[in-house]
Amino acid sequence: MRANYGYTDGSGEWYITIDTNKCDGCRACEEVCPEGCFAIEVDDYDDEVAMVTEDQRKKIKYSCGPCKPVGKEHVEPCHEACPHGAIEHSW
């Protein structure tokens, strides 16, 4: 399953996509994220996978902002940490 957490608001599209077919629940993202965006939970189909936490889903544009500095080359810490490439950002 491709789970898109986030939102589209007047200012654009802001999603973190987690591919639950790739995610094995290793917790690397949970450990590395400075904003506490991730949690590992059992989903509706009984798989233990990463999710974006409920309160972060409404503000990831802001939470992830500092990981995405303007005018500088960067790789988001969560992307770097995930061994399976299961995490994507839409912006």
Partner 1 sequence: MAITAGIDAGAKNTKVVILREDVVVGRGTNPTGFALSEAVEKAFVLALEEAGITRDQVDRIVATGAGRKAVHLAQGNVTEVTADARGANRLMPSARTVIDVGAEEGRGISIDERGVLVDSAVNEKCAAGAGAFTEAMARALEIPLEDIGELSLQSTKSIDMNAQCTVFAESELVTLVHSNTATADIARSVHDAISSRITSMVRRVGLEPEVMLIGGVGYNVGFKKSLEEDLGMKVTVPEYPEYVTALGAAIIAKEQLGGA
Partner 2 sequence: MAGEDKPEYWRWPESRWTNPDLDWKAGDIITAGVDVGSVSSQAAIMVDGQLFAYSNMRTGSNSPDSAVNAMDWALKDTGMTLDDINYVVGTGYGRVNVPFSNRAITEIACHARGGNFMYGPTVRTILDMGGQDCKAIRCDGRGKVEEFLMNDKCAAGTGRGMEVFADLLSVPIQDVGEMSLDIDEEPNPVSSTCVVFAKTEATGLLREGWPKEKVLAAYCSAMAHRVVTLLERLGVEEDFAITGGIAKNRGVVKRLEDELGITTLEPRYDTQIAGAVGAALFAEALVKKQRKQAGG
Residues lying near ligand SF4 in the complex (CB under 6 A) are found at: 9-10, 16, 32-35, 37, 63-64, 67, 76-78
Alpha helix locations (H) across the chain? 28-32, 60-63, 77-81
- Choose one: 6-14, 25-33, 40-48, 77-85; the region binding partner 1 (CB under 8 A): 6-14
Nearest-angstrom CA–CA distance, 31 and 24: 15
- Residue 2 site contact among partner 2, partner 1, ligand SF4, none (CB < 5 to 8 Å, cut-off depends on kind): partner 2
User: One-letter amino acid identity for 38?
Assistant: F
- Choose one: 26-34, 36-44, 57-65, 83-91; the region binding partner 1 (CB under 8 A): 57-65
Nearest-angstrom CA–CA distance, 1 and 15: 15
